[in-house]
Amino acid sequence: MKKRSLISVAAAAALAAASLVAVAPASNAAAKRITLAFQGPLTGEEAQVGQDELAGMLYAVKLFNAKNKGKYVVRVVRADDQGDPAQAAKVAPGIASNTKIIGLVGAAYSGATIASLPFYKQRLLPMISPSATRVSITDPSSPGGALGVPVFHRVVVTDKVQGPSLFKLATKGVSSPKVFVVDDQSAYGVGLVDYMKPSIPAGQSVGFDSVSDKTTDWSATISKIKTANANVVIYTGYFPQAAVFFKQLRDSGYTGILAGGDGVLSPSFVTLAPASVLEGVRLTAGTVPLADISSKLEADFKKKMGKASGVYAAESIDATNIFLSCISKGVTTRQAMLNCVKNFKGKSLTGANLSFDANGDVAGGAMNGFEVKAGKIVFTGPVK
């Protein structure tokens, strides 16, 4: 019953579209009609993430359609997976078999991506995810090889890149770094340290500590840091503990550099400690708020989309722009799109180089650097 009414709605919509085309100016009739899709949570508890990413994609498409009036009309099909692998496995076959769709921005979540991949691989649908960060999707050493090859790509970098980048940012401008690294015993924190370790030059590491995220008193760790005479302290964990730790460390008289990863990058972070304590804290993250790239861009986004941009807006726009640039090169099929994406070379919104390696990971994509200045987290550009 439900299905039939859906079909009739679709038919009505198709009729309406046809009649619209009929009255459109003659020049538009020659425009090439291209379909892309978005997959992510559009309803349910995680809907905010998906809706924000979709808005990013629609923004990029809107600009493209306006710029290429008469040449191309790109439309976006929405696939709602609720961020849930089970739901993703239900919507993916439909998207995969709709051959009009030649590119998919998504899926937003790693679990949903993995559940959808068999269908997209079978029908060779190129994917670019703005936010699926699980390492195994593109890691050839994971059991069964990289899951996503050849269709999966992502413009967001993983902790494999974040580890070394965080170290690089933390030690930037320090002539003889003595780095002390503290993790929070979580899978995220320990993993980040593991990815960081191989990139630490000999003699620059003076100690590691692993501290439960339930810790309230950090004096033992602080004593170790002082004994080790560290001048750079990196914390791989989340912002609530980071604020407490950094506060106690500064209060103990430590004057060196403080740094953390994307777990610390939260607007709440700066509300948890006095501004003077957090001044100069260096942070890395794969994402960057649109407003931090340019306030003009954010204002335009707000005007066109009717709401402020959310998390991963920049990444969604980057992902969409890759497809759009291929479209403007004349790509109309999935196979051509896949080749075009694989050979893509361009710039991201932040100005970093953007291209993919053989496994679909962003090759030139850099981690973004941030610094706390006067109680605000300020974007300082890609970590180079």
192 residue type, one letter: L
Amino acid at 285: A
Tokens 């969409």 belong to residue: 320
The CA distance from 351 to 37, in Å, is 25
Which CB atom, from 92 or from 265, has the smaller least distance to another protein? 265
Report the residue count for the chain: 384
The minimum distance between CB 183 and another protein, in angstroms, equals: 10
Closest to another protein by CB, 61 or 264: 264
Q: Is 309 helix (H, G, I), strand (E, B) or coil?
A: coil
Q: Name the minimum Å distance from CB 334 to another protein.
A: 44
Contacts of 216-221 with C-beta under 8 Å, sequence gap 24+, read: 216/244, 217/248, 218/244, 218/245, 218/248, 218/249, 219/248, 219/252, 221/182, 221/245
Q: Judged by CB, which is closer to another protein: 168, or 247?
A: 247
Residue among 2 and 214 whose Cβ is closer to another protein: 214
Question: Per-residue DSSP letters for 94-107?
Answer: HHHH-TTEEEEE--
To which residue do tokens 């706390």 refer? 372
In the complex, least distance from residue 212 CB atom to another protein, rounded to whole angstroms: 6
Query: 10 vs 374, which CB is nearer to another protein?
Result: 374
Residues that bind another protein (CB under 8 A): 185, 209-212, 214-221, 223-224, 226-227, 240, 243-244, 247-248, 251-253, 268, 270-275, 277, 374-375
Inter-CA distances, 145 with 103, 140, 182, Å: 23, 4, 32
The CB density around residue 354, as the number of other CB atoms within 10 Å, is 22
Smallest distance, Å, CB 197 to another protein? 17
State in angstroms the smallest separation of the CB of 252 from another protein. Answer: 7
Minimum distance from residue 229 beta carbon to another protein (Å): 11
